[in-house]
Structure 1
Amino acid sequence: MRIAVISDIHGNLEALKTAFWDIEERNADTIICLGDLTGYGPYPNEVIDFIREKRIISILGNYDAAVVEEKFNCIRPNEVNKFCMPWAARELTQDNREYLKSLPQNFVVKFQGKEIVFVHGSNRDMNEYLKENSKEAEEAMKEFSGDVLVCAHTHIPYEKHYGDKILLNDGSIGKPKIGRPNGTYIILDMQNNSLNVEFIEFEYDYEKTAAAMEEKRIHLSCINNIRTGIE
């Protein structure tokens, strides 16, 4: 079984479509999205519509929760978010708002005796950053009772082993923080009782996204991030 894991699309429809067709070519059996469909990018409704149309399994991200609640208890109350969260909340259709409300905060796959748990932030909190080699990651993995924990939220992909347990981060489809304007995702290839992780980095027409952001007068910091991959 091959599972593609995507996350942190943040309203970037162009990046999502490119990732989807790339995944199709790599013959994944299914796609799981770890949340943050909305925020920052110019197309929150279109991204949600695409996720729903393609029947992609998705969980709730912290930014999705903030947009639905229209509160800052799930995101940082900085100047960018003070613009982007209310903007995305105003843009959302009621139908898509209800869709986000319906999303679970985790998803579990059991395969060949292994338990793989998919979360947005961590197994403890959707807004917790499990950065590579961090104290938070070590603590979270001590508490984790499954075999593989797959998270997002940091926008930086990595793989880290904690004894027999594995922590994975898929990076970000639509708001990169890797120093390049490319999206990232992972494919979990599970066969013969083994797990192989493929880290994928892809290019897309980020200038198309940036132009749409400029047209909609989205915060300049978000536009610069799309063009540079630096927050």
Structure 2
Amino acid sequence: MLRIMEQTDADIMCFGHTHKPYHRVLNSGIDGQDHFRHAVNIGSVGKPKDNDIRGGYVMLTINENSSVLNNESISVEFIRFDYDYEKAAKAVEDSPLPNEYAENLRRGY
């Protein structure tokens, strides 16, 4: 992850492929000079993999005086919300998708 961020000169990278929300602060500094980068997995609204059936999204706040030298330059808030997951699961069962996807919605993994 750090290599990708360095190669693209990204200080903040938001992604969601694993469906597991998290925020990691990585230090790519050299020669004693810090350079903090933030990797933010925003999770998913459907097909959860973190044992939480609610939908989720991220509120990313970049502080007014943000700097790559300060690992607290951004804050990440993971927000959860209820939705009709049973309706979504039934729609999956009525579709060509595998019924296992519907069970994933009901179980949260």
With the shorter chain as reference, the TM-score category is 0.7 to 0.9
* 1:171-206 Cα shifts (integer Å, max 9, x gaps): 111221111212221011234224221111222110
Written as runs of structure 1 = structure 2, the 5 A alignment for 1:207-226 is 207-216=86-95, 218-226=97-105
1: CA distance, partners of 2:3 / 2:108: 29
Could you list the runs of 5+ residues in structure 2 that have no partner in the other structure?
Answer: 28-35, 67-73
Residue of structure 2 equivalent to 1:71? none
Amino acid at match of 2:106: R
Written as runs of structure 1 = structure 2, the 5 A alignment for 1:1-231 is 137-163=1-27, 164-194=36-66, 195-216=74-95, 218-230=97-109
Contact 2:5 2:11 in 1 (8 A): no
Superposition RMSD on alpha carbons, in Å?
1.8
1: CA distance, partners of 2:37 / 2:44: 23
Whichever structure has more helix as a proportion of its residues is 1
Q: What is the TM-score of this pair, normalised by structure 1?
A: 0.37
| Offset at residue 140 of structure 1 (A) | 2.4
Contact 1:175 1:226 in 2 (8 A): yes
| Offset at residue 170 of structure 1 (A) | 0.3
2: CA distance, partners of 1:139 / 1:222: 33
2: CA distance, partners of 1:219 / 1:176: 15
| Offset at residue 217 of structure 1 (A) | 5.0
SS of the residue 1:168 aligns to: strand
- Does the C-alpha gap of structure 1 residues 217 and 155 become closer, same or farther in structure 2, counting only changes over 3 Å? same
Give the structure with higher Rg (CA).
Answer: 2
Whichever structure has more strand as a proportion of its residues is 2
Aligned-residue identity in percent: 37
SS of the residue 2:103 aligns to: helix
Count residues in correspondence.
94
SS of the residue 2:50 aligns to: coil
Could you list the runs of 5+ residues in structure 1 that have no partner in the other structure?
Answer: 1-136
- Runs of 4+ in structure 1 displaced over 3 angstroms? none
- Does the C-alpha gap of structure 1 residues 139 and 147 become closer, same or farther in structure 2, counting only changes over 3 Å? closer
* 1:8-45 Cα shifts (integer Å, max 9, x gaps): xxxxxxxxxxxxxxxxxxxxxxxxxxxxxxxxxxxxxx
2: CA distance, partners of 1:190 / 1:205: 32
- Does the C-alpha gap of structure 1 residues 138 and 204 become closer, same or farther in structure 2, counting only changes over 3 Å? same
